[in-house]
Structure 1
Amino acid sequence: MVKITDVARRAGVSPSTVSYVLSGKRSISQQTKLRVEESIRELGYRPHAGARSLASQRSNVLALVMPLHSGIDVPVQMRFAVSVVTTARRHDHDVLLLTQEEGEEGLRRVTDSAMVDALVVMDVQMHDGRIPLLRSLNRPSVLIGFPADPTGLTCIDLDFTATGEVCAEHLALLGHRSVALIGSPPPVYTRGTGFARRTAAGFTRTARRYGLTSTVLPCEAGPQAARDLVTRLLHDQPDLSGVVIHNESALEPLVEAFQEAGLEIPADLSVVAVCPDPQAEQAPLPVTSVGIPAERIGAEAVDLLMAKLRGEPVPDATLLPPELVERASTAPRRTT
């Protein structure tokens, strides 16, 4: 167990100086304070509740917990991160970016060392092991994403269930009877990541309501994986005429693979994507899509967090409704 003397030795100060940094009872130079806080972080020292470091003081730093798990599209994640950072700066806060897959232990280390005032948490899973700790922390948090049970949490995200529904309904109203959702890489589903599971659930439920033949398939990254999936899908559903692609990195390879298989878009196959608007707009063939409003979500997450720091009431759940924009990749099903 790490003791206060270990922290003092690591920082090159006396134990009493560490105590003063923790309690805030004496003025300590910023350089010394930072050195002590760094030692606390590196050693994983956890002061007992009565001596918490800066629980009564503000660091003006927010933590952005963004573990870079396999299967996550990093460019999209970075859109969220940039929005969080720029909005935090407007509130005179800096952002500490945490990308390691550390789970509960990483959260404890950061909050126990009083390095941050509050947390924005991403890559939320349906049964996320971090949730019990987030409910118990003496630091406010906002989740970008929803676990299965969001009780006692503040969460914001695109309504991905409604997104799946809107995409399936768009294809159904165009007359398509055999459809598929091509989703994120398999690890995203294996982890139970909320946005992927909810999109699939909304898509499947709406396809069933309209009496469509449907399937949900994860897709690995890369052109060969896209070609293999398209070959399999067309073999299993030879009458396929509509797809929803919820996999930003695979969007272009999948479209190319369908075209290589002899399908003309949208005459033979309608394509809908769930992706950032610029990606859909700038594709060689502009794609009908539901946009991922990363900038808005990141900004609103920080605004919610700052309101919580001020002691103001905030909504438990903020779900942004999906907006489908029709472009050149969808058309009524061709009848013969």
Structure 2
Amino acid sequence: MTTIKDVAERAGVAPSTVSYVLSGSRKISDDTRRSVQQAIDELGYHPRASARALRGTRTNVLALALPRATGGYRAVDGRFTIDISDAARSHGYDVLLMTDQEGVPGLRRIARSGQADGAVLMAVEMEDPRIDVMRELDFPTALLGRSADDDALPWTDLDWEAAAALSIHELAAAGHRDIAYLATTEHEIQARRGYALRGVAGARRAAPETGTEVRVHQSTGDMARLARRVHALLTGEHPPTALVVQHVAALPHILAAIAAAGLRVPEDLSVMAVGNLPDDVGGRDLPRIELPVSEMSAQVTRLAVEAIAARAEGPARSPAAHRLIAPVLMPGPRAAPPRPRTGR
């Protein structure tokens, strides 16, 4: 049986250093932490797993897995983290936040060590490797997001396909026939995040349904490049009369690029936002479909807690529960009709 001393020898550190890395009780350099973690993964060390299993006790902790680039921050992630933490407390659980980009090894460690009773996975990909690992380990898990397999694990999500389609239908009803859909970033689409691909699918599906021309464009996290893309889109030979924005985090930059192109919203260009955070003042003056953060957070936490209880009751399992939330066009501004444009 692998011991903490074995891990220390493999990593070339003292056993106390391994203990500090595991507990987080002291600041350890990134290089040392990575060496210790590599040794843990290679040796398959799982601290306290057998003892906790013998006791049959719970930790009353939920692991919240959020893959994140070092130094990166998204307001939507922070909002979900807070709301899920609040929802967990209402069920008597604390939250252990995991932001390791290498999600699978980290989740294996948490599941096998007994540091948490269950997990909530964020940033869900269509073919997410974490899902198979959680099922393999029989670790109670719920997804904040929808993968390609609805029956793999419990999940909740906004119906992004319906949300994108609703935005196109609203603009078509106002008279628009040339619509641009600014999707999420290239990185999110290449990573096959569920919300990114389903938003694009909804926009494309709505085009033949409404008789409109919908051109899909990928966004970028580079705001200077994004400004150039928006400018080229709006000043080209066939500019749209309406723009749907799913990359709402960049909305202030997009609106600035529209103004720089000499266009007014909504007089010259109708803009609709899909996936705004509640209380985000940046999109208040636009027709918008908000992201139901509080409802999604409450639902995914409930699903995780129910999965923990179901596991404790025995091997008999019902199909994975899920909650697909219908999009709602928020009260307030509505899509303006297209206006004839003068020559440029």
Q: For this structure pair, what is the TM-score category when the shorter chain's length is used for normalisation?
A: 0.7 to 0.9
Amino acid at match of 1:297: M
Structure 1, unaligned runs of 5 or more: 13-33
CA distance in 1, matches of 2:325, 2:73: 21
When residues 196 and 82 of structure 1 are mapped into structure 2, their CA distance, relative to the original with a 3 A threshold, is same
RMSD: 3.0
The Cα of 1:54 is off from its aligned counterpart by 3.5
Residue 88 of structure 1: SS of its match in structure 2?
helix
CA distance in 2, matches of 1:64, 1:227: 34
Amino acid at match of 2:278: D
Q: What is the aligned partner in structure 2 of residue 320 from structure 1?
A: 325
The Cα of 1:112 is off from its aligned counterpart by 0.8
Q: What is the aligned partner in structure 2 of residue 331 from structure 1?
A: 336
The Cα of 1:150 is off from its aligned counterpart by 2.8
CA distance in 2, matches of 1:159, 1:237: 34
Contact 1:73 1:249 in 2 (8 A): no
Identity of aligned residues (%): 30
When residues 47 and 335 of structure 1 are mapped into structure 2, their CA distance, relative to the original with a 3 A threshold, is closer
CA distance in 1, matches of 2:231, 2:293: 33
Q: How many residues align?
A: 311
Q: What is the aligned partner in structure 2 of residue 292 from structure 1?
A: 291
The Cα of 1:271 is off from its aligned counterpart by 0.6
Amino acid at match of 2:277: P
TM-score w.r.t. length of structure 2: 0.81
Residue 184 of structure 1: SS of its match in structure 2?
strand
TM-score w.r.t. length of structure 1: 0.83
Contact 1:53 1:114 in 2 (8 A): yes
Q: What is the aligned partner in structure 2 of residue 147 from structure 1?
A: 147
Contact 1:87 1:299 in 2 (8 A): yes
Q: What is the aligned partner in structure 1 of residue 103 from structure 2?
A: 103
Q: What is the aligned partner in structure 1 of residue 214 from structure 2?
A: 214
Post-superposition Cα deviations, 1:94-128, rounded to whole Å, max 9, x if no partner, equal: 11100111121111011111100000000001111
Q: What is the aligned partner in structure 1 of residue 6 from structure 2?
A: 6
Structure 2, unaligned runs of 5 or more: 25-35
CA distance in 1, matches of 2:297, 2:237: 39
When residues 52 and 138 of structure 1 are mapped into structure 2, their CA distance, relative to the original with a 3 A threshold, is farther
When residues 103 and 315 of structure 1 are mapped into structure 2, their CA distance, relative to the original with a 3 A threshold, is closer
Post-superposition Cα deviations, 1:196-252, rounded to whole Å, max 9, x if no partner, equal: 100110011102221211111122235423320122212446341111111122101
Q: What is the aligned partner in structure 2 of residue 159 from structure 1?
A: 159
| Deviant stretches of 4+, over 3 Å | 1-12, 34-39, 41-48, 50-55, 69-73, 312-315, 326-329
CA distance in 2, matches of 1:76, 1:168: 24
Residue 58 of structure 2: SS of its match in structure 1?
coil
